[in-house]
């Protein structure tokens, strides 16, 4: 029986193969085990922290902040992207502001956010909101601008009001690119919640990792990083499930897998 080369099991096998290699490198002291502890010790710390509730608690705090900033960015910038795509004058009005704000590295916003919002959740939510804005906005704008004009002309021919045309034609037609923007922002969301917690927080998974490094509990530091990797993978898979479910019509219409 021929082994399927595209099977996800191949990725799992590669991941499993990394564990003994990591263990050997550390045990053989090819790298200083103080900075590169054995995988067995990292996994032991990970499971102990999970069972004690420490890691789940820190992850939940971070996800609460991340979800707030992410959803706020989607609620603001998807409608704005639709308006910019439909009305070129709105795009031209905002183009200079957007093109100047977009290249600013999100970590550079953290000090500004700290000045206005202090060290509370509001600061972290704002940083995530700012960082997720641009992939969502620009993908939505491109999606609306690239809609086949025949669809819009047909909607007008059938007498659809502007509101119904946007909700029934424009947004569904642009949804593949809107979802792409949301997917890109998902990774940015995790990165920025960790950075903001490392800079100004006393809890959350970002603070947990930095605090473990400062106290030289390196195995716990890696355990925190492992938890982030698991959460990131899980969120990506959940997004793919939603992606396929809500855009199944797109694959049926075009024959192209939306993922």
CA distances from 110 to 4, 114, 155, 201 (A): 46, 6, 45, 12
Listed by start position, the domains of the chain span 1-36, 41-254
pTM equals: 0.84
Per-residue confidence band for 1, with pLDDT thresholds at 50, 70 and 90: very low
- Return the CATH number of 41-254, one of 1.10.3720.10, 1.20.120.10, 3.40.50.1820, 3.40.50.2300: 1.10.3720.10
Comparing CA positions, the residue from 108, 103, 110, 113 lying closest to residue 133 is: 103
What is the distance between the alpha carbons of residues 210 and 119, in angstroms, rounded to a whole number? 16
* Band of residue 70 on the pLDDT scale cut at 50, 70, 90: very high
Percent of the chain with pLDDT over 90: 33
């Amino acid at each position: 029986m021929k082994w399927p080369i595209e099977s996800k099991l191949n990725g799992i096998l590669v991941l499993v193969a990394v564990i003994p290699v990591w263990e050997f490198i550390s045990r053989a002291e090819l790298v200083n085990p103080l900075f590169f502890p054995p995988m067995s010790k990292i996994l032991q710390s990970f499971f102990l922290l999970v069972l004690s509730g420490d890691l789940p608690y820190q992850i939940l705090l971070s996800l609460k902040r991340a979800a707030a900033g992410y959803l706020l960015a989607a609620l603001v910038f998807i409608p704005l992207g639709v308006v910019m795509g439909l009305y070129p004058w709105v795009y031209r009005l905002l183009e200079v502001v957007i093109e100047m704000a977009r290249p600013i590295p999100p970590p550079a916003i953290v000090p500004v956010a700290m000045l206005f919002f202090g060290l509370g959740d509001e600061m972290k939510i704002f940083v995530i909101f700012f960082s997720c804005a641009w992939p969502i906005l620009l993908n939505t704008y491109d999606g609306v601008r690239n809609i086949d004009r025949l669809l819009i002309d047909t909607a007008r021919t059938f007498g659809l009001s502007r509101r119904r045309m946007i909700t029934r034609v424009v947004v569904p037609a642009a949804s593949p690119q809107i979802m792409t923007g949301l997917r890109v922002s998902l990774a940015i969301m995790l990165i920025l919640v960790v950075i903001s917690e490392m800079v100004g927080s006393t809890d959350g998974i970002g603070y947990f990792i930095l605090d473990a490094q400062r106290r030289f509990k390196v195995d716990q530091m890696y355990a925190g990083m492992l938890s982030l990797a698991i959460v990131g993978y899980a969120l990506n898979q959940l997004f793919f499930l939603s992606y396929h479910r809500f855009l199944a019509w797109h694959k049926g219409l075009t024959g192209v897998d939306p993922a």
